[in-house]
Chains A and B, each alone.
Chain A
Amino acid sequence: MGKADRMSAIATSGAQQPTASAASDTIVSFRGVQKTYDGESLVVKNLNLEIRRGEFLTMLGPSGSGKTTSLMMLAGFEVPTHGEILFDGQSLRNTPPHKRNIGMVFQNYALFPHMTVEENVAFPLSVRRVPKHEQKDLARKALAMVKLEGKESRHPGQLSGGQQQRVALARALVFQPKLVLMDEPLGALDKQLREHMQIEIKHIHERLGVTIVYVTHDQSEALTMSDRIAVFNDGIIQQLDSPTGLYETPQNSFVAHFIGENNILNGEVTAVDGAFCKVRLNGGHEVTARAINIKGVGSRTSLSFRPEKVHIEGISADHPNQLPARVEETIYHGDHVRVRMTVAGSEGFTVKMRFRASRPIPVPGEEMAVAFAAEDCLALDPV
């Protein structure tokens, strides 16, 4: 890479458009990748994933679901037990980590404590034998990008957690990798700083047009930052979709439960009619739901509801999807009120109600009805 290239890539603020050709649209593909550490249980089971050039892809899942392992195989620190990973169409099997040219940001920053901030950021350039003065230039530009001007000669230990994370970010970006991996990079920061950094990383991604693969167990972080999210559980991708796709149409109960808030009512499918189906709840009531993940008439299903999509006021008597409910508890949250209720005999059902001073908050023990549109009630696999 020429000097001018390197400099302009960091200096320009406009997004770099990936060269659009069908073949190079994919930067990384996992093909049937499996991984076991102990030879007994698969930590990653048959991973197939195409990562698009320039996208912000998040691997989201509970702890132990195999996200880090997948990332480490891509970085080259773990070897797949089976399957293949392609980078730019080339198999990575025989490429050692230091030749992969993939930037990486670790959760605990991994800044070298014996080097100054500038030396840390210049490290990838110095191992690439970039001339000294150019190293300094590029390192300073990268530090300016993460708003750390004037901290060049500090040591990492003298910086706050947020500042250290910025240095790690600058260091992973300074050598212009096409792909940057981040493993829970904000996990050690407090909530406010974390939200601030999420936006900043997002902006840097937009400016540089670099592909980012981001690992987190925090669903709100994933929703905020990603173009696409791969939800991991038990070493399997449960769903790969955009944030709205995941939230609005989760494909199974795990995803519905893991992303956002979720209420569940169990029942049995009594009829299927195209995209919709009829479900008889355990209490005997019947409702219409979207048929998303059901096995046909007679099978068990779990209905999934978002708390903000269930109404408890102004319900007309002939509303097709309504269920009897009893208020258990109300919690005032300022802009809204959470009403915990028993719905159709099932406890722990939460409804979010916009708060208006003119309207009384339901009182515990009050009997009322809840109603919802058939599109907002998803019939998923039984839990």
Chain B
Amino acid sequence: MTVPASASAVPAPAGSAQHNDSPAALKQKLRRAERVRKLRAMGLIAPLFFFLLITFVVPILDMMRRSVHDTELSTVWPTVTAAMDSWKDRGNVPDEAVFAALAKDLRAAGETKTLAVAARRLNYAVDNGRSLVFGTARRLPVDATNWKETLIGIEPRWGQVATWNAINQASGPLTTFYLLAALDREKLADGSIVKAPEQSSIYVDILERTFTVSLSVTLLCLVLGFPVAYLLATLPAKHANILMILVLLPFWTSLLVRTAAWVVLLQEQGLVNELLLALGIIEKPIRMIYNRIGVYIAMTHILLPFMILPLYSVMKGIKPHFMRAATSLGATPTEAFVRVYLPMTLPGIGAGALLTFILALGYYITPALVGGAADQMISFFIAFYTSDTVNWGMASALGAVLLVATLVLYSLYNRLVGISNMRLG
């Protein structure tokens, strides 16, 4: 039996024909619709995106660049840094051409008054590099037939390979000098990386201290903040509002004022000591300021709201019927708290701890005002290098180390707790 070919091609009912799009056409329609939606969304975030790009991303990238970028010496001493390429025999000092280049740069820098820049840069890498540069420049003859002998005659250190190694490493444009220094390491002439000498090895200690202080402050905040957040979340609104204002009060006063207030309170003739003395708890004033105790007290006070608020927002969402259910099922109040309530607050603990810890890592003003010399955290040194000695390389390298350490910690945390489990509000 044969069926006419046309029989199988029954036309679709008129009504359904226009909806009978092929999958490909449908996909295209969807894509078009999605594209409009995406464009609108992008338009909405564009202003913030560019703002962040300029004020956040670019500065960070620039900081990362500065930590490995080193053109200070090559801008003021272009000839000698270029000539370093011809220095092949690293076991001996370079030959006459390089010395002649040095003399030329010394003179030029002296005339353009940029000698100080070179002196400062060499001072990072060579002991007493400042006097080496200024001393040589002061006694530099107008002309000489043999620059090598002349310069070594003025300053015997020009005859040492170490000096030239330092210049070579400082010639840029890329350097590992700052990053290594931030980790208490240095690179020898032969390229091997060794521990820096004792007197200049301070940064690993400071990094450790920064993490210890931040962790302790985070734990203190958690221990002190948890009951407050619980109270906030369970009190009737009328009382909770008053407590909330007390919690938020620190936000409305300047950080500097709060820190200064702690200085007044905690000093040896301060309110706290006098109270303890009057109560007979202590015999003579205890030192609570310009040491670690002061740093802990002041930082915990300042960071407490950052722990309380995420905790509060999570606890607010835990309805009382969970605890009721647990008790009705036979759990004692303690058991119900530990097995039901506490696990449900974990997202808040996670968020609060991470927030507090990361904020604490960058703390600068508070330790500077209420801490002693041995309590300064890494930000203090970053500030020191940026504003006091204008050593951008070192400041950037320390910043980069802090950033990397924070990111590592964050990803570790993410692996353990899971960022998606975290709630900020």
Q: Does B330 lie at the interface of the complex (its beta carbon under 8 Å from any beta carbon of A)? A: yes
Kindly supply a per-residue 1/0 record for chain B positions 311-322, scoring 1 wherever the CB is within 8 Å of any chain A CB and 0 otherwise.
000000001011
Which residues of A in the span 76-120 have a Cβ within 8 Å of any Cβ on B?
76-77, 96-98, 100-104, 106, 108, 110-114
A114 touching B329 in the complex, CB below 8 Å, given contacts A108-B319, A127-B335? no
> A114 to B333, alpha carbons, bound, how many Å?
18
- Decide if B321 touches A110 in the complex (CB within 8 Å): yes
CA distance A96 to B332 in the complex (A): 9
Q: Is B340's CB under 8 angstroms from A112's CB? A: yes
| Interface pair B326/A123, CB less than 8 Å apart | yes
Q: Which residues of B contact A127 (CB under 8 A)?
A: 329-332, 335, 339
Contact between chains at A103 and B331 (CB < 8 Å):
no
Q: List A contacts of B327 (CB < 8 A).
A: 76-77, 96-98
A98 B328 Cβ-Cβ under 8 A:
yes
- B residues 99-149 near A (Cβ < 8 Å) are none
Partner among B321, B328, B336, B343 whose Cβ is within 8 Å of the Cβ of A103 = B328
Q: How far is the CB of A164 from chain B (nearest CB, A)?
A: 12
Candidates A101, A110, A114, A128; contact of B325 at CB < 8 Å: A110
CA–CA, A103 and B324, complex, Å:
11
Chain A residues, CB < 8 A from B331: 98, 123, 127
- B321 interface neighbour in A108, A123, A172, Cβ under 8 Å: A108
Whether a CB of chain B sits under 8 angstroms from the CB of A246 is: no
Which of B321, B324, B326, B330 has the most CB atoms of chain A within a 10 A radius of its CB? B330
Q: B322 touching A110 by the CB < 8 A rule?
A: yes
Nearest CB of A to B363, in Å: 33
Any A CB within 8 A of the CB of B180: no
User: B344 within 8 Å of A by Cβ?
Assistant: yes
Task: Check B329–A123 contact: CB distance below 8 A.
Answer: yes
List the A side residues contacting B340 at CB < 8 Å: 112
Which of chain A's residues have a CB closer than 8 A to the CB of B343?
A: 112, 114
Interface residues of B in 174-198 (CB under 8 A from A): none
B324 touches A106 (CB 8 A): yes
Q: Closest chain B residue to A171 by CB distance?
A: B329
> What separation, in Å, do the CA atoms of A108 and B346 have in the docked complex?
22
Contact A128 B330 (CB under 8 A): yes
- What total of chain A residues lie within 8 Å of the partner, measured CB to CB? 26
For residue A185, give the distance in angstroms from its CB to the closest CB of chain B.
Answer: 12
Residues of B contacting A: mostly? helix
Residues of B contacting A128 in the complex (Cβ-Cβ under 8 angstroms): 330
Contact A106 B329 (CB under 8 A): no
Contacts of B319 in A (CB 8 A): 108, 110
Residues of chain B within 8 A (CB-CB) of A175 are 329-330
- Determine the distance from Cα of A127 to Cα of B332 in the docked complex, in whole angstroms: 8
Which of A77, A113, A171 contacts B324, CB < 8 Å? A77
Neighbouring A residues of B339 by C-beta, 8 Å: 123, 127
Asked whether any CB of chain B lies closer than 8 Å to the CB of A124, the reply is yes
B329 CB contact (under 8 Å) in A76, A96, A124: A124
Please tell me if the beta carbons of A110 and B344 are within 8 angstroms of each other in the complex: no
Contact status B330-A110, CB under 8 Å: no
A172 contacts across to B, CB distance below 8 A: 328-329
Flag whether A277 is at the interface (Cβ < 8 A): no
A124 near B330 (CB under 8 angstroms)?
yes
A237 contacts the other chain (CB 8 A): no
Of chain A, the residue at the smallest CB distance from B421 is A114
Hey, which chain A residues are within 8 Å of B333, CB to CB? Answer: 98
What's the interface size class on B, roughly? 20 to 34
From A98, A103, A104, A181, contact of B332 by CB (8 A): A98
CB distance from A35 to the nearest CB of B (A): 17
User: Which of B321, B328, B335, B344 is the one whose CB lies under 8 Å from A102?
Assistant: B328
Is A240 close to B, CB under 8 A? no
A97 to B330, CA, bound (A): 8
Residue of A nearest to B333 (CB): A98
B329 close to A75 (CB less than 8 A) = no
Q: Mark B334-357, 1 if CB is under 8 A from A, else 0.
A: 011001100110100000000000
Q: Which of B325, B328, B332 has the most CB atoms of chain A within a 10 A radius of its CB?
A: B328
> When chains A and B are docked, how far (Å) is the Cα of A100 from the Cα of B324?
13
* Least CB distance, A165 to chain B, in whole angstroms: 13
A102 to B324, CA, bound (A): 12
B245-271: which residues lie under 8 A (CB-CB) from chain A? Answer: none
Nearest chain B residue, comparing its CB with the CB of A111:
B325
How long is the Cα–Cα vector from A357 to B403 in the complex, in angstroms? 84
Contact A113 B321 (CB under 8 A): no
Shortest C-beta distance, A28 to chain B (Å), equals 15
Also in contact, A114 and B324, with CB within 8 A (given A98-B331, A128-B330, A175-B329): no
Residue from the set A75, A77, A100, A123 with the largest chain B CB neighbour count within 10 Å: A123
Complex-state Cα separation, A102 to B330, whole angstroms:
9
Q: How far is the CA of A181 from the CA of B321 in the complex (A)?
A: 14
Check if A104 sits within 8 Å of B330, measured CB to CB: no
Determine the distance from Cα of A175 to Cα of B234 in the docked complex, in whole angstroms.
Answer: 30
Q: Mark A116-144, 1 if CB is under 8 A from B, else 0.
A: 00000001100110000000000000000
Q: How near does chain B come to A54, taking the closest CB pair, in angstroms?
A: 20
Give the residue name and chain of the A residue nearest to B340 (CB): A112
Q: How far is the CA of A325 from the CA of B339 in the complex (A)?
A: 67
Measured in the bound complex, the distance between the Cα atoms of B343 and A103 in whole Å is: 23
| B328 near A97: Cβ-Cβ < 8 Å | yes
Closest beta carbon of chain A to B334's beta carbon, Å = 10
In the complex, what residues of B have CB within 8 A of residue A108's CB? 319, 321
> A138-175 interface mask toward B, CB cutoff 8 Å, 1 = contact, 0 = none?
00000000000000000000000000000000011001
Evaluate whether A106 and B325 lie within 8 angstroms (CB atoms) in the complex, with A112-B340, A113-B344, A114-B344 already known.
yes
* B contact residues around A124 at 8 Å (CB): 329-330
Give, as a whole number of angstroms, the nearest-CB distance from A183 to chain B: 9
A98 and B321 contacting across the interface, CB-CB below 8 Å: no
Return chain A residues, CB-CB under 8 Å to B332: 98, 127
| B interface with A by C-beta (< 8 Å) | 319, 321-322, 324-333, 335-336, 339-340, 343-344, 346
A-B contact pairs, 12 of them (CB 8 A): A77-B324, A77-B327, A97-B324, A98-B330, A103-B329, A106-B324, A110-B322, A110-B325, A113-B344, A123-B331, A127-B332, A175-B329
> What 15 additional pairs, Cβ within 8 angstroms, besides A110-B321, A112-B322?
A76-B328, A98-B327, A98-B330, A101-B330, A103-B328, A103-B329, A104-B328, A108-B321, A111-B325, A114-B346, A123-B331, A123-B339, A127-B332, A127-B335, A172-B328
